[in-house]
Structure 1
């Protein structure tokens, strides 16, 4: 669906040049929600603006549905952009226009007849959950409602791709979840390909199928979201995973707790998918002569399944503890032994 090769954007200043995007290669499958995550300055917002040529690349190629976006003239690009919707962090609504008029704006530009525009806008208002608010102005809406208008406007011309640039960063957590649920619903109902830029791993975890991690203009790590959660390779990725799965204050507290154990072993268990629903610890306590004390645990859900970690102290004879650990390992739970010993 989307193929990017050698994408580079260089900004020139009086003193030097800055590579905001540096020789980036990426493939996005049709109908998937693909996340791009990075800290401030990683180049992710520049990357998303290159996708529809709000910024022109210094070099490289972008193919969307077999059309080379980077080779289009201005007139060709104007037509092609109708197939690429975009939503923004700060909504970018027309404040002097109503909800209905904001959503209708791209249809007006495309020359869609009035009767058809009205029908399409009414459909979109229902789709994004704003029934009855068509005559309201942006100043009369909450942040979440404004973003729903932005989403409806981006969908007006039935795009093939939806680009989301930090679409939830200006929203509170509850509203963020409602907007993310809406994006998942749109993805499933319309089969829309979504590229989502964010600095929040919670957003990636909740709705994305795959993720690319950007640092210094480059994609440094990518893969299925669950795989990245389970096996983060680079320090930057590990920090993002900690946003969801790790709590440094809790880890510090855990260090203090485990220092008090002079016998047994402290292990960390990694659960994936259906295994998270199995009563493994209680089974171990029944089958082996060990005492199991759960110290800390957390389970989170991704689009590809659940992922959880559990810190457990096992006490008893060393041979029995080893049997218990071997049993857990046989269930496909990953076991790290000897933590904090």
Structure 2
């Protein structure tokens, strides 16, 4: 659906050249919700503006549904943009227009006849859950309602791709979840390809199928969300995963573990999918002569299934601990020994 090859963007200033996107390669499948996460300055917002040519690339190519948009003329680009919807962090609504008229605006620009325009607007109002608010002005809406207007407006021309630039970062957690649920619903009903730009791992965890982690203009890690949660490779990725799972080094520091548990071992258990329902700890206590103490744990849900971590202090004979580790490995639960704890 979307093929990005060797994409670069360099901003030229008086004093220096700033590389915002650095030789980036990505492939995004049709109908998936794809997340791009990074801290401020990582290049993710520049990247999304390159996708609809709000910024022109310095080098590389972007092909969407077989059409290379990086080489299009202005007139052809205007038509191509009708198939690429975009929603923004701060809504970008026309404050002098009602909900109905905001949603109708891109249809007016596209020259859609009034009768068809009105029918499409009411269809979208129903889709995003704003029935009864069509005559309200943006100043009369909550943040979540404003973003629903933004989503409806972005969908007006039946786009194939929806770009979301920090679409929930101005919203409270409850409203964020409702908007994310709406985007999942739209993705499933319309088969729309959605690209989410965010700095919040909660957003990635909740709705994305795959994720790319950006740092200094590059994609430093990419994969299915569940796999990235399970096996984050880069330091920046581990920080993002800790946003959702909690950082055990902070909540239950290794120094404190070392002080309190001078013998035995501390194990980190990774549960995936159905394994999160296993009564593993009680099984270990029955099968092996061990004392088990749960230190810290959390389970979260991704689009591809549940994922959890559990920190357990295990006290007992060395051979018995090794047998328990072997037993755990024979299940679908992954186990690792926390370092620096003797």
TM-score bin, normalised by smaller chain = over 0.9
Cα distance 1:153–1:338, how it changes in 2: closer, same or farther (>3 A)? Answer: closer
- Under a length normalisation based on structure 2, what TM-score does the superposition of the two structures give? 0.97
CA contact (8 A) 2:252 2:296 kept: no
What's the RMSD between the two structures over aligned residues? 1.2
What corresponds to 1:249 in structure 2? Answer: 250
CA contact (8 A) 1:166 1:198 kept: yes
Matches within 5 A, 1:105-184: 105-184=105-184
Unaligned stretches of 5+ residues in structure 2: none
2-side partners of 1:167 and 1:310: how far apart? Answer: 32
Matches within 5 A, 1:205-224: 205-224=205-224
Q: CA deviation at 1:263?
A: 2.9
Cα distance 1:333–1:147, how it changes in 2: closer, same or farther (>3 A)? Answer: same
What corresponds to 1:195 in structure 2? Answer: 195
Q: CA deviation at 1:37?
A: 0.6
2-side partners of 1:219 and 1:292: how far apart? Answer: 41
Matches within 5 A, 1:1-341: 1-247=1-247, 248-252=249-253, 255-339=255-339, 340-341=341-342
1-side partners of 2:77 and 2:252: how far apart? Answer: 51
2-side partners of 1:3 and 1:303: how far apart? Answer: 23
2-side partners of 1:177 and 1:338: how far apart? Answer: 34
SS at match of 1:300: strand
CA contact (8 A) 1:34 1:196 kept: yes
SS at match of 1:211: strand
In the TM superposition, what whole-angstrom CA distance separates every residue of 1:138-180 from its partner, at most 9, and x where no partner exists? 0000001000000000000100000000000101111111111
Work out the number of aligned pairs and report it.
Answer: 340
2-side partners of 1:269 and 1:110: how far apart? Answer: 55
1-side partners of 2:336 and 2:259: how far apart? Answer: 17
Q: CA deviation at 1:242?
A: 1.3
In the TM superposition, what whole-angstrom CA distance separates every residue of 1:240-267 from its partner, at most 9, and x where no partner exists? 1111123343032x64245212332211
Larger deviation: 216-225 or 145-154? 216-225
CA contact (8 A) 2:7 2:21 kept: yes
SS at match of 1:259: helix
2-side partners of 1:255 and 1:336: how far apart? Answer: 18
In the TM superposition, what whole-angstrom CA distance separates every residue of 1:287-308 from its partner, at most 9, and x where no partner exists? 2222211111011111111111
Larger deviation: 299-308 or 316-325? 316-325
2-side partners of 1:324 and 1:23: how far apart? Answer: 47
Unaligned stretches of 5+ residues in structure 1: none
